[in-house]
Structures are given as structure tokens and as C-alpha cells.
Amino acid sequence: MKNLDGKVSVIIPAYNEGRVIFDSLNETIRTFNDFGCDYEIILIDDGSKDNTLAQALKAAKECPRIKVKRNLVNYGKGRALKKAFRYTTGDYVVFLDADLDLHPAQAQTLFDILKLDSADVVIGSKMHPNSQVEYPFSRKVISFIYYLIIKILFGLPIHDTQTGLKLFKREVLKDVLPRIVVKKFALDLEILANIHRLGFKIAEAPIVLKQNRPFGRLGLKAMVQTGWDTLAIFYRMYILRYYDKTTVESMDISHSKARSAEES
């Protein structure tokens, strides 16, 4: 990100990540300091029941570039990201998982591809031919099946919607996030399907993924919910035409009460 024209906002959603969040924030700070760009980090604690908030506040006390926000209860990643975006001031926004499975240094590759491909959005992809991934074979099979389903339903020109490292130009999220309904795991798909439908250019980047936790992030219940949410997104997009009919302005008004309730 040398000679980057603009500011970067890094959004890190966290739920029960007290074991790693302090180190994760410090590593992200070190990485972006090395990049030499103007940046900020917004940590959104989504109603954690452990010491995530305390550890995040500890890191923020040591670094003023960190803003810590929270939801009083666990609303889900979708709602957490929408809330966090309201506190960003950057020209570019990076979504980054909290667990360091994906090192923040990989954001440089996404910025390089954004410039080279004249893209509006760049997403990390486990299925990119140059990616290096270490996670169970069963998860690879599930990811491939989900890719096929997404390809059939939405025709997206990408292979992996779920990897937790993504880069957006600010104006893209400003247009798309108010349209988002999904609160949890299919959020990434809903965002990217709307981005594609609105004509923004999406590119993919290789990633290095090393799963640090002994079990996967998603259990059976979460995968079933993701499946239902995926079908619901298809229904809203192609049957109800919800995303086309509803303007950004009207959605801002309809969600105002919910947004006020999230503030803490």
C-alpha cells in the first residue's frame, strides 16, 4: 500500500475472540504501520460473553487508531458489519476476520489487484489457483458445493464468497450495505450478489489460509442457516425484486429505529 492515495478503514468483527483479539489487533497495527498508509481499525464486539471487549479496549488504550464499538447482544456478523461501517472514515474498507487465520499483510495483494484490474471490490478466495490453504478436506468439499450452488442461482463471476478478507471502495459499501437483510453467515453472499447486480467490478485474490482453531468456524446448524439464507436472498432478488424496488434512502429510514437500538 505504498503511495496509496486515501485512507483505509479496517473492520474486524469479533464474537468470543478474547483469547486472540489483543494479539490480532496488535499484529494488524504493526502490519499497517509497515504499509505506511493512513488507516484506522474499527473493532466491533458482537455481544461477546467472554473478555473480548476488555481485551479490545486494552489494545485501543495503547493505540488511538483503534475504535472499539459493541452490540449488547449477539446480533450476527451482518448487523455488526453494518454498524461498524457507520464509524468508518476511510476511502477504502477492508473486512478482516479476528482470528489471524488470514494474516492482515495479505491486504497488500488485494490493493495491488484493485489497481491492476481497475476493480471496485477484491475478495480473498480459497479457490484461487495460487492460494495456499490448510483446512479439512470436508470443508473444501462443502466450499466447492456451495460455489456450484451460488454459480447456478446468481451467476456470480467469483468462486468463493465466504473468505474473511475483502476490500471495497467506500462508495460501493455505501450503496450496498443499506440494502442488506441477512444478519449472519450468508451476509457475504448478499453483499456480493448486490454488488454484482449493481454493475460494480469484483476481482479475486489468492490467499494464504492456516486454520488456527481446532474446529471449523461453522457447525451443522450454521451451515443449514446459511443454506436457508441463500435461498432467501435468491427469493428477494429474483422473485420479490426487493433490492431493485427499495431505494437506499427508504431503507435508511426503515432501519433507523433498529440502528438507534444498536447504539451503546
What's the pLDDT score for residue 218? Answer: 59
Q: Could you tell me what percentage of the chain is helix, strand and coil, using 3-state DSSP and rounding each to the nearest 5? A: 45, 20, 35
Mean pLDDT score of the chain, rounded to an integer?
90
Q: What is the pLDDT of residue 17?
A: 97
pLDDT at res. 137: 82
Is 230 contained in some domain?
yes
pLDDT in tens, 56-80: 999 999 999 999 999 999 998 888 9
| Structural domains in the chain (count) | 1
Is residue 2 a part of any domain in this protein?
no
Tens digit of each residue's pLDDT (9 = 90 or more) over 104-149:
999 999 999 999 999 999 999 999 999 999 878 888 888 899 999 9
Which cell numbers in the block locate residue 255? 432501519
Task: Tell me whether residue 226 is in a domain.
Answer: yes
Does 235 reside within a domain? yes
pLDDT score at 93: 98
Residue 217's pLDDT is 56
Residue 101 contacts residue 164 (beta carbons within 8 Å): yes
How many CB atoms are located within 10 Å of the residue 235 CB?
A: 11
Q: What angle do CA 68, 172, 95 make, to 5 degrees?
A: 35
Q: What is the CATH number of the domain that holds 138?
A: 3.90.550.10
pLDDT in tens, 179-224: 999 887 789 999 999 999 999 999 999 999 987 654 455 567 878 8
pLDDT value at residue 139: 81
Q: Is residue 197 part of a domain?
A: yes
The pLDDT, as a whole number, for residue 225 is 87
Query: Residue 246's pLDDT band (boundaries 50, 70, 90)?
Result: low
Q: How far apart are CA 168 and CA 90, in angstroms?
A: 10
Q: Are strands 165-169 and 121-125 parallel, antiparallel or unpaired?
A: antiparallel
Q: What three-state secondary structure class fits 120?
A: coil
**Rounded to the nearest 10 degrees, how much is the dihedral formed by the CA atoms of 264, 94, 100, 138?**
110
Is 1 inside a domain boundary?
no
pLDDT at 253: 46
Structural domain harbouring 251: 7-262
Asked if the structure places residue 158 within a domain, the reply is yes
- pLDDT category at 247 given cuts 50, 70, 90 is low
Please list, in sequence order, all residues whose beta carbon lies within 8 angstroms of the beta carbon of residue 196, skipping any fewer than 6 positions away: 154, 156, 157, 202
Dump pLDDT digits (tens) for 9-20.
Answer: 999 999 999 999
